[in-house]
Structures are given as structure tokens and as C-alpha cells.
Amino acid sequence: MDVLTDEEVKKYQKDGYLVLEGFLDPEECDMLKARMSEIMERMDIPEHCRIQFSTNHEEQLKEQGNADYFITSGDKIRFFFEKGVFDEKGEFIIPRERALNKVGHALHAYEPLYKNVTHSQKVQNMARKLGLQCPVILQSMYIFKQPGIGGEVTPHQDATFLHTEPLGRVMGVWIALEDAMLENGCLWFIPGSHKNGITRRMVRTPKGTFPLTDFVGRERDYDDNLFIPAPVKKGGVVLIHGEVVHRSAHNMSDQSRHVYTFHIMESQDTHWSPENWLQPTQELPFPPLYT
């Protein structure tokens, strides 16, 4: 799969997401997983930064140290944990490698294997087929969805956290490094929901105040019956429009669901909100996709 077909482009535009099998070879997936194992082996986390990741974000950012750790992670490689993996002293109660929720948010910049996938000709060809003129990479994450404890991701739109003017300039590229099935927490979407705008934004609060981020507006209530599952085999990719509503369930199975994902923004004629939690830095401006 090197170039999207016209039919696939139309389906993405209609539904707000697109599932494509066979994007990476199984060997490529295994290499990315092996490199993450090496990264985990050398992770060194300050005690106050052993935060437990929550897709609701409010719980995650209650502590000053936790909030700093998150909001300054855009140009770094940092570690975020599932709920219930530490005791009251901050010590792991399960193996370290089974405790992680995700690693983010600059794997695409500092890790050659992930950088190569992010800037691969396949990704560039997809972006060109979708009409992107000057796409840049915003962030990247390795998501674990641990067996038995991989937390639910509640219904949301990526544009809540990555806001642009005009809307519709951000796309997620979600690569399954293991099978992502109904049993272990595949993605679910409301097709066409990317056409309804957004009602909630996560914004930085004024400098010197705490918490460091807050929410403006509220998430809509969604009918569970509208969600459609999007299972994908190892090596497949899901393209995610920034405004499409999606979620994933708690992973109750004994199989993990490892994913490498990153976000692309069309930068031409686009205003990146200075209120977004994620900001380019002098050390890491948003790198252009096309090389």
C-alpha cells in the first residue's frame, strides 16, 4: 500500500476515518516494539513525576509536578502510567514494563526507527494524496493498552487538545503494532461526526496560575449505538480526522494492543492556537513531514 486510491480518499472524507491493512510489515512492527523495550529498560522517572495517565486529563494534572511533567513533554520522551500501578509510596506493584500507558511525545524527533516510519515515503504519499501542502508533525506516542488493565479511552475529538483555526487541519496516523481487535480495545468511531464541529477545548491557563490547563465547554453526550468498531490487524493503519469522535474500551483480555501513533497538521494557512497544551519549542519546532 503506497498510495491511497480515490475511493479511499472519498471514504476518509465521508466517515472521518479510514482503516488500511498492511501498512507495515510484521518485521517492521517487531523492530518498533523491540526498540520500545530498550527505551523502557533505561527509563528514569523522578518520584513526583510517576503520574498515572487519564484520558479525562483532570485527574492527571491535579499535582503541580505531574502537570509540569505533562505540559513540558512535547519536545521530550516521557513516561505515563496506568491507574493503580503504584503503591502509596510510589513504588510499582506490577512489573514496570506492564505499568505504562504510553510514552510521548517526541519519539518522531529523537528515535531513528520511529522517525523513519513517521517520515516514510508511504506516509508522505498518503498526505499528498489527501492534498496536504505543508504538513508538519505535531507529536507522537507509543500506546501500550496493557492486558487486563489497559484503561478505557472515553469518547473525544483530537481537536479538543490540538486546536487549529480553521478546524480540520489535524490528522492522526494510528499504526497497529499488534492486532487491535474487539477483545483488546480496538478503536470505535461515529462515522461522519467530524462534520459537527467541537464543543470542548483543553487550554493553557494564564502563566503563573494552577492548574496549568483547563477545559472550556463540555463534551457532547454520545449515543453508544452510533459507534462502529474499527478492528485492524498488526501492521495496519487507521487515519483519524481531528474532529471525528472516537473511543476505545478497557482492555480486559490477556493480549496487549501496542500502537505507534502521531499527528500531522496542514500548516499552510493554518493558525496553531497558543492556548494548546502542546507548543513548538526552540529545541523542537514542528518538523515538516516532506523530506
Pure H helices in 104-256: 107-110, 112-118, 121-129
Q: Is residue 1 part of a domain?
A: no
State how many domains the chain has.
Answer: 1
Query: What CATH number does the domain containing 186 carry?
Result: 2.60.120.620
How far apart are alpha carbons 108 and 117 in whole angstroms?
8
Q: Is residue 245 part of a domain?
A: yes
How would you write the pLDDT of the chain (291 residues) with one tens digit per residue? Answer: 568 999 999 999 999 999 999 999 999 999 999 999 999 998 877 665 555 555 454 554 455 567 888 899 999 999 988 888 888 777 889 888 888 999 999 999 999 999 999 999 999 999 999 999 999 999 999 999 999 999 999 999 999 999 999 999 999 999 999 999 999 999 999 999 999 999 999 999 998 888 899 999 999 999 999 999 999 999 999 999 999 999 999 999 999 999 999 999 999 999 999 999 999 999 999 999 998
Q: Is residue 75 part of a domain?
A: yes
For residue 100, the 8-state DSSP code is: E
Which cell goes with 231? 478492528
Domain housing 206: 6-272
Q: Is residue 59 part of a domain?
A: yes
Q: Is residue 281 part of a domain?
A: no
Q: Is residue 263 part of a domain?
A: yes
Q: For residue 133, with 0-12 CB atoms within 10 Å meaning exposed, 13-18 middle and 19 or more buried, which class applies?
A: exposed
- Asked whether 284 and 111 are in contact (CB, 8 A), the reply is no
Q: Is residue 34 part of a domain?
A: yes
- Asked whether 109 and 285 are in contact (CB, 8 A), the reply is no
Q: Is residue 262 part of a domain?
A: yes
> Quick check: helix, strand or coil at residue 54?
coil
How far apart are alpha carbons 36 and 141 in whole angstroms?
11
- Asked whether 260 and 194 are in contact (CB, 8 A), the reply is no
